[in-house]
Chain A
Amino acid sequence: DQQVKQNSPSLSVQEGRISILNCDYTNSMFDYFLWYKKYPAEGPTFLISISSIKDKNEDGRFTVFLNKSAKHLSLHIVPSQPGDSAVYFCAASAPVGAGGTSYGKLTFGQGTILTVHP
């Protein structure tokens, strides 16, 4: 049972346009969501996150939107650049342990390969 799903294995976008990466989840206990970016031969690096108390978080060209009722989040990259070409993973965590901390038990999606063409 896959609790975090990225249904698009790949996305191709022209430089300067918007990239929209989508992620759906099924576990209503998830309260914190993250996007990671991974280049070939490197480990994933943290990109942006959002808490369930918010519906939008913005950091430069990157914006994450959360729709709790639809259990859906999306990552918008605008404008897209060729250097953004990478695999993007959506991840979610639920509060466990003392004090509601999650101890890094992230559940990841399968990833979406983004290619930005010059």
Chain B
Amino acid sequence: ETGVTQTPRHLVMGMTNKKSLKCEQHLGHNAMYWYKQSAKKPLELMFVYNFKEQTENNSVPSRFSPECPNSSHLFLHLHTLQPEDSALYLCASSTLAGEELFFGEGSRLTVL
């Protein structure tokens, strides 16, 4: 079982759809993150959760709604997205010291 698992790996959705990305970590970490990777751009931090509490929202539009029910699970709820939101969404986890992130394989999102 890999350390950080993301589902689905690929998602195609219309602008009016509502979908969710799921992340699960089996590393016993207490911090979880959502990053976005667009083509030819650096990874951009979206959200940080420590012990289920959101500690960082990096000016992310409200059409992205994170949820962290416990330290092992993280969701990203998507609604009324735009085509420019098409990207690779990466989940990561870490200890609270947070200097080394363990990434999942990513969810490739395409918004039509």
> Which residues of A approach B to under 8 Å, CB–CB?
2, 4, 9, 32, 34, 36, 41-46, 49, 89, 91, 93, 101-111
CB pair B103 A104 closer than 8 Å: no
Residues B28-83 near A (CB distance < 8 A): 31, 33, 40-45, 48, 50, 55-56
> Which residues of B approach A to under 8 Å, CB–CB?
4, 6, 31, 33, 40-45, 48, 50, 55-56, 90, 92, 94, 96-106
**Interchain CA distance A46-B99 in the complex, whole Å:** 10
CB pair A111 B99 closer than 8 Å: no
CB pair B4 A43 closer than 8 Å: yes
**Interchain CA distance A110-B90 in the complex, whole Å:** 15
In the complex, residue of chain B having the shortest beta-carbon distance to the beta carbon of A44: B103
SS class, residues of chain A in contact with chain B:
loop
Residues of A within 8 A of B94 (CB): 103-104
A105 in complex: contacting residue of B6, B40, B45, B96, CB < 8 Å? B45
